[in-house]
Structure 1
Amino acid sequence: MCQVDEDYSDQLEHAHLPSVSKKCVKCKEAPAAVVIRAGDAHCRACFKEFFIHKFRAVLGKHRILFPGEKVLLAVSGGPSSCSMLSQVQEGLSQNAHKKLRFSPGIVFIDEGGAVGRSAEERRRTAVQLQAVFEATGFPFHIVPLEQVLDLPGSVVTAVPSPSERPAGAYKAAVDHFIQSGGSLAAREPEEPPRPEVGGGAHTASLQQLIRSVRTLTAREDLLNTLRLHLLVHTARTEGYSKLMLGDNCTRLAVKLLSSISLGRGAQLAQDTGFSDSRFGDTILVRPMRDYSAKEVAYYNRMFQVASVFTPGLDTKTPDKASIQRLTESFVTRLQADFPSTVSTVYRTGEKLQAAGESASAAGRSSRCLLCMCSLDAATAAENASAFKATLLSERLSQAKRPGATRSALETPRGDCSSGRAEDCGSAEGGGGGGCCSPARAAETDDLKSLLCYSCRLTVKDMSSLEHLPRYIRSEAQRRQRRSQMREEISEFLLEDGD
């Protein structure tokens, strides 16, 4: 048996920590200033060259950004997105070795209204970011999240993408760009826009929407979806064909594991891949996906890359507050003891590819109403035994019976789980339009049929569907009418084989 007084100090092996006094592994001359991984020490100059080369190499490898193309940079103020902005600014400078050739713009989504920040705090953050954006010389847009409530229904429809360019189109575009002078179109000088801060009824409606979601897991998922909708709408209205996101390797590893836990396994290739064309005309690009959070932090600290902290829904929350927060804590703590954790998860997810879609499956009706990804097979198939059994069990558990309560998903005004008749709109004197009414249940089922499995879980945690933005509900009604019309004329339609 082990003894308390026994001394094991002589038998334990001490781990040899890498020393920063060793020479750089690249130039072999200058002393190392940063150790990214064990045995991978770089001096200051070599680390900067390595960091810059990785950014331009990933863009050159995929050849997705054509010369002269307008690219919108989504900057949240965090270290990774600000580092991405710094790399683009460095790549467009006159003394760049391999100069970038696209025309960038910047967008910042102010989410202060969703997290309950005051107008003064939001204005202070916007002024700080405006100073950072003005220093770059790029056109920028500061958009409050409240504008998502006024978006058109076209945001949740896949706009047909331009015809695919041939294999040699990229080289031909580069040659034409060089022959035309190799300079981007000059932008007319514009007065810097004043930071917009949402307020009033829109902020109250946004906060009511966030509060209608019971769990923090579903709140974060819904907030990410609304933010992406607003980013895509801004890119479309401003004429940008590419949207560049600042997700780094560590963030994508956490997102991959949390997405699997949330039932988004079929959408992993779109959520974590380098490029994502789910919206058709606007392609999402993640050039920072090869950088770890440690590399980004070192680079920003050594080369004074400014960043602005903006609190989110999970700020100062415990590890078990949500699935995303728990996954992040698990990955980061495991990474501290096993440095290859993030890279292993990331490389595994990098091998995932989206399944090819047929022409009929690429239509609007086959995509999720919220995340715009293709509906997974389990959701679209009617005879999937496991999924059908889950739906049947849920339907039976919510069946109305004496003394039973209904799901909070169908509660527009109150909460039936309280057991009070006045909380249910379908009780006597309630007008028959409450959560237990057949019309409300039918509306919920119709909306579920348009969502993927993960988005169904998010909507299920909402106390009322009436809090959803108008453009989502109108698009749902349009799809339902179109589906009903198709059923009515199905006898006169030819099959694909015919």
Structure 2
Amino acid sequence: MACNSSGCQSGCYKNEFEQEQQNSNSNSKPSTTRSGYNICVKCKSNEALTGSGTGDDGRFCGDCFRSNLYGKFRLAVSTHALITPADKVLVAFSGGPASRVALQFVHEKQQMAQKNYDASRDGSLPVFGVGVAFIDESAYCAISSDEVDETIQKIRSIVSHLAPPAKDLHVVSIESTFSLDALDAREKFKKLLDSVGDATGKEDLLMHLRMLTLQKIASENGYNRVVLGLCTSRIACHVISATVKGQGYSLPADIQYVDARWEIPVVLPLRGCIAQELNMLCHLDGLETLELLNGPSTGINGLVSSFLKLLQEENPSRECTIVRTAGKLTPFHFNRIPELNDSNVPLASQRRQKRFNLKCNETISSESFCPLCYSPLNPSDLNSLSNYKSSQSSDAFGAACCSSCRFQIFPKDPSLVEQFYSLLPEPMVSRANYGSNGHFSALRKRVQDCLLSDNEDET
């Protein structure tokens, strides 16, 4: 279909790419009328929003601001094939502005897909499915059951009030990863967190358990994508904190649009949006947000978050600069955009994938991951692992972990390591065993041509 207006919705590659370039490169200030009001730089007719100047809210009117923000989401989804018609995606929902906008934008894209399906004669483009996951972390936050029930009811109301197609809501407690009955799992979860003395390590372990829970929900309910609402602001915090924690080697793995090292790939469609823009959109559209049940960040994570807020006040582009700089790091092979030959994937998306395909680091085996945080292991970590042929002990498990996890999460007292190991959920323990075997299998495969078979003579 030829493009004949600025409102073209045909998925034209050229127009969307040019629009994205125009949005990202436009740094002009709003023009001013005779009466002193700022005018939107896009429509040139409506009054620009009065914002703090840290995002596009100070350059666009309300309608253009929303259109521009949704355009970033839509371009990321189509360029990197984050959501295709045959997918079934699970949106991680915490109730904050970022996850609320992620849910709203995924919902709107699903509505558009439904309209296209209804308008087509043969129904050739299926409508992707959407589910919503809320992880109950009240076992860690120590809040009353009444507050938890009230929060869950609000989330059910938010999801149920979205227009069709209907979306399944999964409310799962974070301790469910232990595969025990509710009381035993809750008690074991508390003991595990109490065994970590470092505040930063405790927060990091909680984040890893949260991802395990999301993967469990997605796997058990047939989802093939997990959508996170991580935005530029959150990723900028992670870049600084990961550098401070000594996770620079694995940092490129966490900041890409696609993270396929997990059984169910994780995608970040809001990677190009800053937190201030998402807050503004929730305010403009009246999107209900919830007070997060988890407490404020402490330790390194809290310090970095406060530090970046100060930087952002001094220079509104600091967060974007940090993420763009980190984006120059070479990603891993599991961040590569897979080649699509599916007839359900629009041709424009396939062209964009070829244009934006990443140059990845192919020097690491996909099995060489830390069993705690699942970050890629660097050569020095693999050297410590090579002394163990099995991961069925606390010492071997510690050797299989990255240096950051050994420092931040593992107990400092050697006598407590065995107890810590016994409290870990089974997926983490089995992952260590698989990772160790996988590493040696990959090593053997590399030198297979140099090995003698059992029936060959040494001649």
Residue ranges of structure 1 left out of the alignment (5+ in a row): 1-15, 152-197, 316-320, 384-441
C-alpha separation in 2, matches of 1:259 and 1:37: 24
Listed one character per residue, the Cα deviations across residues 363-418 of structure 1 (whole Å, up to 9, x for unaligned) are: 53x221122232112212369xxxxxxxxxxxxxxxxxxxxxxxxxxxxxxxxxxx
C-alpha separation in 2, matches of 1:66 and 1:41: 32
- Deviation, 1:95, is 9.8
- Deviation, 1:353, is 2.5
Listed one character per residue, the Cα deviations across residues 23-42 of structure 1 (whole Å, up to 9, x for unaligned) are: 11111111112445589511
For residue 167 of structure 2, the aligned residue among 127, 133, 138 is 138
For residue 424 of structure 2, the aligned residue among 452, 465, 468 is 468
Listed one character per residue, the Cα deviations across residues 437-476 of structure 1 (whole Å, up to 9, x for unaligned) are: xxxxx94431122111222223324744232223433554
Matching residue's letter, 1:342:
E
Alignment of 1:2-81 (within 5 A): 21-35=37-51, 36-37=53-54, 40-81=58-99
User: How has the CA–CA distance of structure 1 residues 53 and 363 changed in structure 2, closer, same or farther, with 3 Å as cutoff?
Assistant: closer
Larger-Rg structure: 1
Aligned residue for 2:376, secondary structure, equals coil
Does the 8 A contact of 1:71 with 1:244 survive in 2? yes
C-alpha separation in 2, matches of 1:444 and 1:64: 38
Alignment of 1:283-298 (within 5 A): 283-298=265-280
For residue 228 of structure 2, the aligned residue among 245, 250, 253 is 245
Normalising to structure 2: TM-score of the pair?
0.72
Listed one character per residue, the Cα deviations across residues 89-135 of structure 1 (whole Å, up to 9, x for unaligned) are: 22233599999952211111111111222322222211111111112
Matched, 1:111 2:137: yes
The corresponding residue for 2:252 is 269
- Deviation, 1:273, is 1.0
For residue 447 of structure 1, the aligned residue among 397, 419, 428 is 397
Alignment of 1:186-225 (within 5 A): 200-225=183-208
For residue 82 of structure 1, the aligned residue among 90, 97, 100 is 100
Does the 8 A contact of 1:220 with 1:313 survive in 2? no
The corresponding residue for 1:326 is 303
Aligned length: 368
Listed one character per residue, the Cα deviations across residues 416-445 of structure 1 (whole Å, up to 9, x for unaligned) are: xxxxxxxxxxxxxxxxxxxxxxxxxx9443
Does the 8 A contact of 1:217 with 1:324 survive in 2? yes
- Give me the CA root mean square deviation: 3.4
C-alpha separation in 2, matches of 1:212 and 1:330: 29
Q: Which moved more, 1:442-451 or 1:95-104?
A: 95-104
Normalising to structure 1: TM-score of the pair?
0.67
Matching residue's letter, 2:325:
T
Aligned residue for 1:265, secondary structure, equals coil
Q: Which moved more, 1:328-337 or 1:47-56?
A: 47-56
C-alpha separation in 2, matches of 1:199 and 1:64: 35
Aligned residue for 2:266, secondary structure, equals strand
- Deviation, 1:314, is 2.6
- Deviation, 1:358, is 9.4
The corresponding residue for 2:10 is none
Aligned residue for 1:107, secondary structure, equals strand
- Deviation, 1:479, is 6.2
Does the 8 A contact of 1:18 with 1:38 survive in 2? no
- Deviation, 1:495, is 2.8
C-alpha separation in 1, matches of 2:407 and 2:92: 27
Listed one character per residue, the Cα deviations across residues 249-307 of structure 1 (whole Å, up to 9, x for unaligned) are: 1010001110111121111122111110112x411100011111110011000110111
The corresponding residue for 1:162 is none
Does the 8 A contact of 2:252 with 2:332 survive in 1? no
- Deviation, 1:79, is 0.7
Matched, 1:92 2:44: no
Does the 8 A contact of 2:82 with 2:269 survive in 1? no
The corresponding residue for 1:299 is 281
The corresponding residue for 2:373 is 371
C-alpha separation in 2, matches of 1:132 and 1:483: 43
- Deviation, 1:326, is 0.3
C-alpha separation in 2, matches of 1:339 and 1:494: 48
C-alpha separation in 2, matches of 1:305 and 1:112: 24
C-alpha separation in 2, matches of 1:483 and 1:302: 50
User: How has the CA–CA distance of structure 1 residues 345 and 484 changed in structure 2, closer, same or farther, with 3 Å as cutoff?
Assistant: closer
User: How has the CA–CA distance of structure 1 residues 379 and 97 changed in structure 2, closer, same or farther, with 3 Å as cutoff?
Assistant: same
Aligned residue for 1:314, secondary structure, equals coil
Aligned residue for 1:240, secondary structure, equals coil
C-alpha separation in 1, matches of 2:116 and 2:280: 23
Matching residue's letter, 2:307:
F
Aligned residue for 1:25, secondary structure, equals coil
C-alpha separation in 1, matches of 2:208 and 2:362: 26
For residue 362 of structure 1, the aligned residue among 362, 365, 369 is 365
